[in-house]
């Protein structure tokens, strides 16, 4: 009898051990997002060259709509506290009509090789930039970079040369990257899913297929905003293929008693909760720097997570409305203090050409509705309820914490989710759109992170 009890206990322990270990990997989501039923024939896996092109009729239609725009007078001295100030919006629209050269910006967009390939029933658009030259005996490291909302693949255009040709920009040549920047399905020039339930795990699965199709068995990933979640999911799906995960934004959806205690007492006993002085400065007073920000800045997310098509239809019909909606995010998410300025501080960090190029990608592709739906697909089941939110991330992780990111996540919180943080840095300046705003700072942090990962892996191989 005693032997049977031990055998039973042993069996249960083995089952628990292996079942728990299996749960550490997120299942690959093999979906079909094309129109109608999935065909029985094998999907075309060819990779086709792509270039951004806009017909004259599209531009004529755009200018007609800009000319017919109706503006609402802002409240006196309201600056950007009520959203995009229409006084400044008029100036942006005037520049858009009279000075902005879309054809020139199309040439900028097309300076990097772009492609499309069909995955799970929809066309996936991506930029693929190889190094202009490599030192003898050195191989480029594949790096998948994923944007968020309301950004686009264009966010990475300033950082790409710093990563593919770092030596020419004073960043050394020890680590050189081959950069792949896809458009999330439903964003930019990637086809929108035609079926419900395309969430971050779906996108991660599609991008995993993309990297394998391009011949990359091992690669690094980098992302912020939605890209942070997608890259995190990819690391959970394929931890043996993702060499390292670098993030410039972290989301923690699973909060417990330790988090609550650190919120209540962390300001007074930071060391007890693993907080550094900079964590305290960025997080407290908590009501102002967390709760108030959520209430004042996340109304858009509630709309997009519930009825995205309602607002989206209006934005897709009005280029001025689309610009107002997107520009407001590039103002407050870059620096909350910019709400106190009549121009939203937009040109303090970005050029109008860059801002309008991003807006034009949404306009000419007509993707604003499908991009907003991504919020509903990810949030409609509730926060903290999905499997990927409950699983940890085992792969080496680097975090660049920019001071003006909407919400600051301390390393003490992040390490509950990302169990192998090899690099966590408080960045000296910058906000949500780090790659576009501070490309050199972000590039340097990616480089030092990859250097740590590569050296750690080398030491492990030597020790085997």
Catalytic site residues? 225, 375, 432
Q: Rounding to the nearest 10 degrees, give the CA dihedral for residues 113, 149, 184, 175.
A: 50
Contact 136, 216 (CB under 8 A): no
CA-to-CA distance for 114 and 433, rounded, in angstroms? 22
The CA-based angle 258-260-262, given to 5 degrees, is: 70
Three-state secondary-structure class, residue 421: strand
Of 415, 370, 394, 443, the C-alpha closest to 184 is 370
Q: Residue 249's closest CA among 420, 423, 406?
A: 406
How far is Cα 378 from Cα 387, in angstroms, rounded to an integer? Answer: 12
Read out DSSP for 96-163? Answer: HHHT--HHHHHHHHTTS-EEEEEETTEEEEEEEE--S---TT--PEEEEEE--TT--GGGGTTTHHHH
CB atoms within 10 A of CB 91: 13
């Amino acid at each position: 009898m005693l032997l049977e009890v031990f055998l039973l206990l042993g069996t249960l322990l083995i089952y628990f051990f292996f079942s728990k270990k299996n749960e550490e990997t997120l299942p690959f989501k093999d979906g079909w997002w094309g129109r109608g039923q999935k065909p029985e024939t094998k999907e075309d896996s060819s990779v086709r060259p792509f270039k951004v092109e806009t017909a004259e009729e599209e531009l004529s239609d755009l200018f007609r709509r800009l000319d017919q725009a109706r503006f609402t007078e802002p409240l006196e001295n309201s600056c950007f506290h009520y959203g995009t100030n229409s006084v400044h919006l008029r100036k942006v629209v005037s520049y858009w009509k009279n000075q902005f050269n879309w054809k020139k910006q199309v040439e900028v967009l097309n300076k990097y090789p772009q492609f499309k390939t069909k995955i799970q029933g929809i066309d996936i658009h991506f930029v693929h930039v190889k190094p202009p030259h490599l030192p003898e005996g050195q191989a480029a490291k594949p790096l998948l970079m994923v944007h968020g909302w309301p950004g686009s693949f264009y966010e990475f255009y300033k950082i790409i040369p710093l990563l593919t040709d770092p030596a020419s920009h004073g960043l050394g040549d020890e680590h050189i990257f081959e950069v792949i920047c896809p458009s999330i399905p439903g964003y930019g020039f990637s086809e929108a899913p035609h079926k419900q339930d395309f969430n971050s795990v779906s996108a991660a699965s599609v991008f995993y297929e993309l990297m394998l199709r391009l011949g990359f068995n091992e690669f690094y990933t980098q992302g912020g905003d939605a890209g942070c979640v997608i890259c995190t999911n990819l690391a959970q799906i394929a931890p043996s293929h993702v060499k390292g995960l670098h993030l410039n934004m972290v989301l923690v959806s699973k909060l417990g008693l330790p988090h609550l205690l650190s919120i209540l007492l962390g300001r007074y006993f930071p060391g007890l909760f693993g907080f550094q002085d900079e964590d305290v400065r960025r997080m407290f007073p908590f009501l102002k720097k967390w709760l108030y920000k959520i209430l004042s800045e996340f109304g858009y997310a509630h709309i997009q997570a519930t009825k995205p098509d309602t607002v989206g239809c209006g934005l897709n019909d009005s280029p001025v409305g689309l610009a107002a909606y997107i520009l407001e995010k590039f103002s407050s998410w870059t620096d909350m203090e910019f709400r106190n300025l009549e121009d939203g501080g937009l040109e303090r960090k970005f050029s109008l050409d860059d801002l309008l190029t991003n807006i034009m990608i949404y306009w000419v592709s007509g993707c604003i509705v499908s991009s907003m739906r991504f919020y509903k697909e990810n949030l409609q089941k509730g926060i903290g309820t999905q499997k990927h939110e409950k699983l940890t991330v085992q792969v080496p992780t680097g975090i660049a914490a920019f001071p003006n990111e909407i919400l600051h996540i301390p390393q003490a919180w992040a390490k509950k989710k990302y169990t192998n943080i090899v690099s966590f840095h408080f960045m000296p300046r910058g906000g949500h759109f780090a790659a576009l705003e501070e490309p050199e700072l972000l590039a340097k942090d990616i480089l030092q992170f990859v250097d740590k990962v590569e050296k750690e892996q080398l030491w492990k191989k030597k020790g085997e």
